[in-house]
Chains A and B, each alone.
Chain A
């Protein structure tokens, strides 16, 4: 049996409010921080209501990147073709910028030291999600949003996914909670 409160309108429509209903406890837009947190994870903390901690299965989060910027190293190569000289551009990691690797379990970000103008970038795109780390209960939701780079690390002779935290300007988010009330 489901216990809750039912609200009716004059036309007979009703809504049931139960503890299991997901509620939007926070939503809006914000700018992303320019540095890592003290624990070397990255993101903006959105406090959940009260001082209680909530189990992860009671929480939901959606995050969209609204605005980002770019900087990278581009090298042009002139190519003589039958139609004339065309120009193709290779993309490389931008060595003055700081790139990070991310621990998939803890969410800790470590600086990738080898960024150089010889590391070919194949793709880049914004990534945003709830940084759960390996926690099981939460008093806050950490919103993670970075620019991901898929590249070839020439010195290590391997493909890597690395991240930059200085490219995401703003995000939109919504955080959902069930059993809000403890």
Chain B
């Protein structure tokens, strides 16, 4: 084929202007939209002078600036273990740990007194004397709500009033030792204490039954402890316990109480010896953010389909979608040909491992988590038509 065109020469150098030479018909910077187009595609349209086949068009697009979205999780790994001693104190507060609601137990001494009571009212014939017993069942409370029992109805303490006095109160801080067995933990474990408060009141003066027993249980729970072992140790399990009978009031009654929450009246477990992880390495990893919009792009049509990341639920691997790489992705969204405009596409591309599908995907974010502005050049040959 004979090449026909316009030749300019300067010495031995020449320039040849022919129809197939590409010309830059549009160039500059343009802002990218914050949402998809109505047909589900994304980008900015640049008008061409007329309609041209895509084979005559060229486009270069480059990101000027961008933002991106992710969540990070930093986990401690490869720890060594260090022993420690702790005292646990019941607080005037409730908490939920591993799905169990109970009186909060922490390592800080409380300052606000609270109590629970059992009594014989309105059966006021039981006013002669009273026995009050407290004991506790101790469990390891796991992340899924299941328990491993360490001791059932241990550290029992009984106090009583005397029939020779009316009314009479017996109370005090009572400690009972209990041997905690060596127990392996995971750091999501907590301790659950189920306290039992029981009152048996007696009737010496009236007809009818000679005694009556009433009882109650109260659940106490620690936060997740972050410990890896309970070492074998003697725990001192202390509680403020109260017994009283009173025939001088109307109605008269007997009752027992368990107090906790303050330094003067407390439920306290001391001598707790444990191992906890120290000197950990920390792994940080980015994950797709379930609160943001990610899209999968159809390479043929350019249509963007919403993809929802997992929400990083503890214990559910399928909900953790790690980000493998992040980079701007720009280009000409070619669509169909011929065309009287070109579509500039620019997003942040993410390589993501979709855990629920066990596959790597490429997803995109746009708008405030995408590319705000691009530089571009649009080339056209045979500009002028056939």
Contact = CB atoms under 8 A, between A and B. Distances in A.
Question: Interface size class for chain A?
Answer: 35 or more
B325 A123 contact: yes
Interface string A1-37: 0111100000000000111110111111100000000
A70 B362 contact: yes
B330 A4 contact: no
Nearest to B349: A68
A135 to B, nearest CB: 21
B324 A124 contact: yes
Contacts of A24: 21-24, 58, 379, 381
Contacts of B59: 27, 29, 172
Given A26-B22, A74-B360, A169-B299, A180 B16 contact: yes
* Interface residues of chain B: helix, strand, loop or mixed (majority): strand
Interface in A97-117: none
Contacts of B325: 70, 123-125
Contacts of A156: none
B113 to A, nearest CB: 30
Interface stretch (B1-9, B164-172, B250-258, B263-271): B1-9
Given A174-B379, A179-B15, A91 B7 contact: no
Nearest to B321: A89
A143 B169 CA distance: 95
B312 interface: yes
A106 B206 CA distance: 111
A3 to B, nearest CB: 4
B332 A66 contact: yes
B283 A79 contact: yes
Nearest to B63: A64
B355 A174 contact: no
B187 A80 contact: yes
B60 A65 contact: no
B361 A78 contact: no
Nearest to A21: B15
B54 interface: yes
Interface string B351-362: 101010000111
A25 B17 CA distance: 10
Interface in B14-62: 14-18, 20-24, 54-55, 57-62
A81 interface: yes
Contact of B353 (A68, A74, A125, A179): A74
A174 B380 CA distance: 11
A181 B10 contact: no
A82 B283 contact: no
A3 B351 contact: no
A173 interface: yes
A89 B322 contact: yes
A70 B299 contact: no
Interface string A140-179: 0000000000000000000000000000011111100011
A69 B352 CA distance: 11
Given A25-B22, A29-B334, A80-B187, A87 B17 contact: no
Given A64-B330, A67-B331, A19 B187 contact: no
A125 B120 CA distance: 76
B83 interface: no
B217 interface: no
5 contacts: A24-B21, A24-B23, A86-B312, A89-B355, A179-B14
A-B CB proximity, top 7 nearest = A27-B58, A84-B314, A66-B331, A24-B22, A181-B14, A181-B16, A19-B15
Interface of A: 2-5, 17-21, 23-29, 49-50, 62, 64-72, 74, 76-89, 91, 123-126, 169-174, 178-182
Given A25-B21, A64-B330, 18 more contacts: A18-B8, A21-B15, A24-B22, A26-B22, A28-B55, A64-B60, A64-B61, A70-B362, A84-B188, A87-B317, A87-B355, A88-B283, A171-B331, A172-B61, A172-B331, A178-B15, A179-B14, A181-B15
